[in-house]
A and B are shown apart, each in its own frame.
Chain A
Amino acid sequence: MSFQLIIDILIATVPLLVIFPSLFAFTTWMERKALARIQNRIGPNKIGVPCTRVSLFGLGQPAADGIKMIFKEDIVPRGADKLFHLLAPILALIPAMLILCFLPLEFPWGKFMSGKVQAFMLDSAVIFFFAITGLNTLAIFMAGWASRNKYSLLGGMRAVAQMVSYEIPLVLSAVIVVMMVGSLNAKEIADAQSGFNWFVFSPWGLAAFIVFFIAALAETNRSPFDLPEAESEIIAGYFTEYSGFKFALFFLGEYIAMFAISGLAVTLFLGAGDGPFVDAAPWMPAMWFIAKIFGLIAVMIWLRGTLPRLRVDQLMAFAWKFLLPLSIFNILLAGLSYFALDARVANTTDDVIHYVNSGNPFAGVPELGTNEALMGAMIYRGMAGEQNPMAAKKWFLKAALKGHPASRTLVAWWLGIWVLSLVALYVMAKGLNNLSRSTTKPREYLYAE
């Protein structure tokens, strides 16, 4: 038993410890290359296979950087708190690695050995995720405090203010998904979205995803929210006094946190391992999952290449006056419209069941699309296997397309609610935007001949 356990633990954890740090190396290369191209430069293009002239688009660059980092002198300022100065980068890395365990990442070998699909199954994974993310703040403030440098201190204070503020919209936007699924379990959330029922494909899900993504940028200190390490203002913020391997650990921690938070966004909104041809091979879900993570990271890089930084008061105003009210409004809206829509689906189901009960639909002239509607009703009621309102809606949509009147009414409702929600969200966002920041607009200028 103990042998089996050890194997299980190894199989569950080693991929996380190997795959993500190597993905980190690839991501640094990708980021440098993409930023270079955005800026019309070439980027790393010299280092490839050692001892040859094969450059492989500079793919060897991360390795060279890593070697350099390891051999660099580790400088600790004289006035620094040596213990915390050492602990901070380690503490920044550990929670980030820990979060990865909760992602519903289905590696095929995990399934093969023990049937486990993720390293650590927890019924309250989402809550646990946010709890651990909070530790990161501590590490950053520890670094800022222990360095005994004014810029570091400023960076650390900025980081604490920023991460505490942005955690709230982050959690509130995740609440919507939890409401819809009725579970905090990452695996159940992932399963609920299978078959392209991604939560991002609904107005409130979309709004929540955008809020979540913006807050995630702030949580991971990415541009345009990179105030804790704002180069033009406070040198490098909390890691001003870090060099060598400690700096590399911070860097690693930051990127792993990026993977983790993108992974959570993928789990919550983008259908986890779901995608086209997902059943084609056992490794497809994992591949889709990682591909989606990289998609999000590419957007982060793109934003980084485009946007300047917010100021600290604007950052706070954005979190408290814009994102927070918007996500609360979104929760309300999602609850109401989900309730309305669900009531409508239940109504239609009742209609269909009533119709079936009142006479045999398959005799005489069958009404168009009745079969699909019946299927939907059965799935909604849980009469055909598991109860699944999401999948039921899909059948009703098929029925409506074939011309089933009750389903058509349902779809009309559906569309109406969606359009109304989208408009309401946009108007709300626009209003909040006008309220939360002083009006700024392009100006007209005078000319003297």
Chain B
Amino acid sequence: MSTTAAPNYELLQQEGLETSLLEISMGPHHPSTHGVFRMDVKLDGETVVELKPVFGYLHRNHEKLAENMSYLSSMPFTDRLDYFNSMTNNWAYALAAEQLVEVEVPERAEYLRVIMAELTRLVNHVTLVGFFVNDLGALGTPLMYAFREREKILDLFEQASGARMMCNYFRFGGLRNDVPEGWLDRTRELVDRFPAFLDEYEQLLSENEIILSRTQGVGNLSRELAINAGITGPMLRASGVNYDLRKVDAYGIYDRFKFRVPYTDGDTGDCYDRFMIRMLEMRESVAILKQALADIPEGDIIGKVSKVFKPKPGETYGRIEGPKGELGFYLIADGTPKPYRYRVRPPSLINLTVLREMCLGGKIADAVVILGSIDIVLGEVDR
């Protein structure tokens, strides 16, 4: 870690006064570290003068494990990376593997993939905002409202894939099974009702004076630092960069949908921007969902892939715009049924790298809020 910032406190410089900084190890079990994450904080009163993020408590050897099993067997493990967004994790991995064998994905499967990914984005953002306000000190009310809506979407996931969170639904070349009868109608109904929830949520949160003063001007992230640190996703857009892989890559069939990418002018890039960008993105996701649900055709659900997945030697990098940022899978195939190299680009970990820069000089309560606004899942950070 870099050098400790000099404690900017006059008393410390006075001679004859024996004072020291208060060192606190926040975590690995702490109510607001979102899992097993630790922040070694040095406090001058309530002000953070040094912060050292420590992670790795949840390391599960995901990448090395994947190099020792078949391509398909890694699919359920990708669910467990960012366990809020198993659908998008599946998609990123499937995308990478499909580039190795160049398989055609049927039309209906592409539409269902978009629907699942955008529902996942709703799940992620709605839960993030809930937890974020919980970190601000609200007694779980916004979180419970968020979970209320999340439950409805998870019900849909369960009906389609059999599991609420660990969906394991995508396959190379399509999806595992078609959605059951009536599922699309039910999803349409949910999507139609979702904006009403967003309105209520915004009424509850986005004008609240306490939330405004707690988040505005807290944890500023400049555009330059965000780009240099490789930040992606809503956090990058909150720092004023218009960069969304759905527009840049137009993977899948995203070029068919009309949607907007919200971003800021980059003046502030604080927690409030990160919070609001996500709120606005949810509305755009609803717009995509409406179009996809209107246009979805009948048809096959999986393309022609041989049962034994054995790509020719080569390498590939598949990336998607996950709810947390750019999620990428880098694969090297060597002609065997197992990948030679398997590497995940986790948005959570890379977004976490700027935590120290954002927290220094703030209060300890700000550090918690900033961590909440980064939106990390330790399953993905530690892998």
Q: How far is the CA of A283 from the CA of B23 in the complex (A)?
A: 56
Question: Given that A232-B137, A307-B138 are contacting pairs, would A448 and B263 also be in contact in the complex, using a CB cutoff of 8 Å?
Answer: yes
B336 is an interface residue with CB less than 8 A from chain A:
no
A447 is an interface residue with CB less than 8 A from chain B:
yes
A313 is an interface residue with CB less than 8 A from chain B:
yes
Q: Which residues of A contact B46 (CB under 8 A)?
A: 154, 312-313
Question: Given that A438-B217, A445-B262 are contacting pairs, would A311 and B366 also be in contact in the complex, using a CB cutoff of 8 Å?
Answer: yes
Residues A232 and B213 in contact, CB atoms below 8 Å apart: no
Q: Pick the contact of A447: B140, B260, B363, B366 (CB < 8 A).
A: B260
Residues B260 and A448 in contact, CB atoms below 8 Å apart: yes
Q: How far is the CA of A206 from the CA of B273 in the complex (A)?
A: 37
Q: How many positions in chain A have a CB within 8 Å of any CB in the partner chain?
A: 40
Q: Pick the contact of A312: B31, B136, B363 (CB < 8 A).
A: B363
Chain B nearest CB, measured from A82 CB (Å): 23
Residues B32 and A446 in contact, CB atoms below 8 Å apart: no
- Residues 11-42 of chain A, each 1 if its beta carbon lies under 8 Å from chain B, else 0: 00000000000000000000000010011110
Q: Which residues of A contact B207 (CB under 8 A)?
A: 442
Which stretch in A194-202, A223-231, A251-259, A424-432 binds the other chain?
A223-231
Question: Given that A308-B214, A446-B262 are contacting pairs, would A233 and B365 also be in contact in the complex, using a CB cutoff of 8 Å?
Answer: yes
- Residues 307-322 of chain A, each 1 if its beta carbon lies under 8 Å from chain B, else 0: 1111111100000000
A-B contact number at CB 8 A? 126
Q: Which residues of A contact B209 (CB under 8 A)?
A: 440
Q: Which of B245-267 contact A (CB under 8 A)?
A: 247, 260-265
Chain A nearest CB, measured from B74 CB (Å): 34
Question: Given that A151-B24, A230-B137 are contacting pairs, would A40 and B31 also be in contact in the complex, using a CB cutoff of 8 Å?
Answer: no
Q: How far is the CA of A201 from the CA of B46 in the complex (A)?
A: 41
A304 is an interface residue with CB less than 8 A from chain B:
yes
Question: Given that A447-B262, A448-B242 are contacting pairs, would A231 and B31 also be in contact in the complex, using a CB cutoff of 8 Å?
Answer: yes
Q: Which of B221-278 contact A (CB under 8 A)?
A: 242, 244, 247, 260-265, 268, 272-273, 276-277
Q: How far is the CA of A151 from the CA of B161 in the complex (A)?
A: 44
Q: Which of A209-247 contact B (CB under 8 A)?
A: 223-224, 226, 230-235
Residues B212 and A308 in contact, CB atoms below 8 Å apart: no
B30 is an interface residue with CB less than 8 A from chain A:
yes
Chain B nearest CB, measured from A272 CB (Å): 31
Residues B211 and A40 in contact, CB atoms below 8 Å apart: no
Chain A nearest CB, measured from B155 CB (Å): 16
Chain B nearest CB, measured from A300 CB (Å): 12
A111 is an interface residue with CB less than 8 A from chain B:
no
Chain B nearest CB, measured from A218 CB (Å): 14
Residues A232 and B31 in contact, CB atoms below 8 Å apart: yes
Q: How far is the CA of A176 from the CA of B147 in the complex (A)?
A: 46
Q: Pick the contact of A445: B31, B137, B212, B277 (CB < 8 A).
A: B277
Q: Which residues of B contact A226 (CB under 8 A)?
A: 137
Q: Which of B124-145 contact A (CB under 8 A)?
A: 133-141, 144-145
Q: Which residue of A lies closest to B143 (CB)?
A: A39
Q: Which residue of B lies closest to A433 (CB)?
A: B209
Residues B214 and A310 in contact, CB atoms below 8 Å apart: yes
Q: How far is the CA of A38 from the CA of B280 in the complex (A)?
A: 25
Question: Given that A150-B22, A308-B136 are contacting pairs, would A233 and B368 also be in contact in the complex, using a CB cutoff of 8 Å?
Answer: yes
Residues A448 and B247 in contact, CB atoms below 8 Å apart: yes
Q: How far is the CA of A234 from the CA of B135 in the complex (A)?
A: 11
Residues A230 and B365 in contact, CB atoms below 8 Å apart: yes
Q: Which residues of A contact B32 (CB under 8 A)?
A: 231-233
Q: How many positions in chain B have a CB within 8 Å of any CB in the partner chain?
A: 52
Chain A nearest CB, measured from B122 CB (Å): 18
Chain B nearest CB, measured from A225 CB (Å): 10
Q: Which residue of A lies closest to B217 (CB)?
A: A438
Q: Which residue of A lies closest to B363 (CB)?
A: A311
Chain B nearest CB, measured from A25 CB (Å): 21
Q: How far is the CA of A231 from the CA of B22 in the complex (A)?
A: 19
Question: Given that A310-B210, A314-B213 are contacting pairs, would A35 and B272 also be in contact in the complex, using a CB cutoff of 8 Å?
Answer: no
Question: Given that A309-B136, A311-B366, A313-B363 are contacting pairs, would A40 and B264 also be in contact in the complex, using a CB cutoff of 8 Å?
Answer: no
Q: Pick the contact of B212: A150, A224, A232, A441 (CB < 8 A).
A: A441
Residues A308 and B213 in contact, CB atoms below 8 Å apart: no
Residues A223 and B212 in contact, CB atoms below 8 Å apart: no
B186 is an interface residue with CB less than 8 A from chain A:
no
- Residues 15-45 of chain B, each 1 if its beta carbon lies under 8 Å from chain A, else 0: 0000000111000001110000000000100
Chain A nearest CB, measured from B27 CB (Å): 11
Q: How far is the CA of A234 from the CA of B46 in the complex (A)?
A: 11
Q: Which residues of A contact B264 (CB under 8 A)?
A: 443, 445-446
Q: How far is the CA of A312 from the CA of B368 in the complex (A)?
A: 13
Q: Which one of A232, A235, A308, A310 has the greatest number of beta carbons of chain B within 10 Å? A: A308
Residues A442 and B212 in contact, CB atoms below 8 Å apart: yes
Chain B nearest CB, measured from A259 CB (Å): 21
Chain B nearest CB, measured from A362 CB (Å): 59
Residues A235 and B31 in contact, CB atoms below 8 Å apart: yes
Chain B nearest CB, measured from A181 CB (Å): 34
Residues A232 and B368 in contact, CB atoms below 8 Å apart: yes
Q: Which residues of A contact B24 (CB under 8 A)?
A: 150-151, 154
B364 is an interface residue with CB less than 8 A from chain A:
yes
9 contacts between A and B (CB under 8 A): A154-B364, A235-B31, A310-B213, A437-B213, A440-B216, A442-B212, A446-B262, A447-B260, A447-B261
5 closest A-B pairs by CB: A309-B137, A39-B144, A308-B136, A440-B212, A447-B260
Q: A230-B365, A310-B213, A446-B265 are in contact. List 8 more A-B contacts (CB 8 A).
A: A150-B22, A233-B32, A235-B30, A308-B133, A308-B210, A309-B138, A311-B366, A438-B217
Interface positions of B (Cβ within 8 A of A): 22-24, 30-32, 43, 46, 133-141, 144-145, 148, 204, 206-214, 216-217, 242, 244, 247, 260-265, 268, 272-273, 276-277, 280, 363-366, 368
